[in-house]
Amino acid sequence: MDIILVPGFWLDASSWADVTPPLTAAGHKVHPLTLPGLESADAPRAGIGLRTHIDAVVAKIDSFDAPVVLVGHSGGGAIIHGAVDARPDRVARAVYVDSGPLGEGGVINDELPADGDEVPLPPWELFEDADLTDLTDELRAMFRARAIPQPRGVAQDRQQLSDERRFEVPVTVIACEFPSSMLTEMVAGGHPYVAELGRIRQVDYVDLPTGHWPQFTRPAELGAAILAAVDRT
């Protein structure tokens, strides 16, 4: 199975390096992406928006003959959901890592402090305590050293969806900051935050208790969870 890995904000393809070994050992082909504007700290970011990143994932999907598994971390969840909407017949499963599908008209995060065309990694004080669980001082230093400013348009553009066949694509949610029981209660209660998730026909939940960056804090366990999701496909 071809597995496309879409990183969250401020990260490139290399952020998946410690997650992929279980996947490749099982015989799968992994394709971690570096999205437009994230190639380097000096890369141009003007004019890059959410659709730019969705189109990059769609182009990768189209490069394969068979259906793929999409994995999206954090803001990458909104991106892979846009790609599912664009190619619902070409995605065998979507895996959301501490993230979820962003519905029509939603934005990933328009409250992040921007500097011109980009959103630098904010100071740690701007994050919730739950975000930073298990992210040691050493990991924080590593993350900040490798962080690449995010194109502002990706954070602030509104999601545009058009194909309701997206709800037929099976989903796995890997819950990190908050337990899956909280998510299912929110879905059952009709909470707007999970409205799009609540419309998906088949959703599996996996608990991986840690902070918002499990690819750094619990990479082996994340790889195993993704592999289990692929095996269910």
Per-residue pLDDT tens, the chain, 233 aa: give them: 999 999 999 999 999 999 999 999 999 999 999 999 999 999 999 999 999 999 999 999 999 999 999 999 999 999 999 999 999 999 999 999 999 999 999 999 999 999 999 999 999 999 999 999 999 999 999 999 999 999 999 999 999 999 999 999 999 999 999 999 999 999 999 999 999 999 999 999 999 999 999 999 999 999 999 999 999 98
Angle value at C-alpha 221, between 219 and 222, nearest 5 degrees:
60
CB 231 within 8 A of CB 30: no
How many whole angstroms separate alpha carbon 232 and alpha carbon 96? Answer: 15
Q: Is 145 helix (H, G, I), strand (E, B) or coil?
A: helix
State which residues form the domain around 205.
2-231
Q: Domain tally for the chain? A: 1
CB 50 within 8 A of CB 159: yes
CATH at residue 181: 3.40.50.1820
Pairing mode, strands 91-97 and 171-175: parallel
Q: What are phi and psi of 29, to 5 degrees?
A: -105, 120
Tokens standing for residue 197: 């998730």
What is the value of pTM for the model shown?
A: 0.97
b/e map of 130-145 (b: 16 or more CB within 10 Å)? ebbbebeeeeeeebee
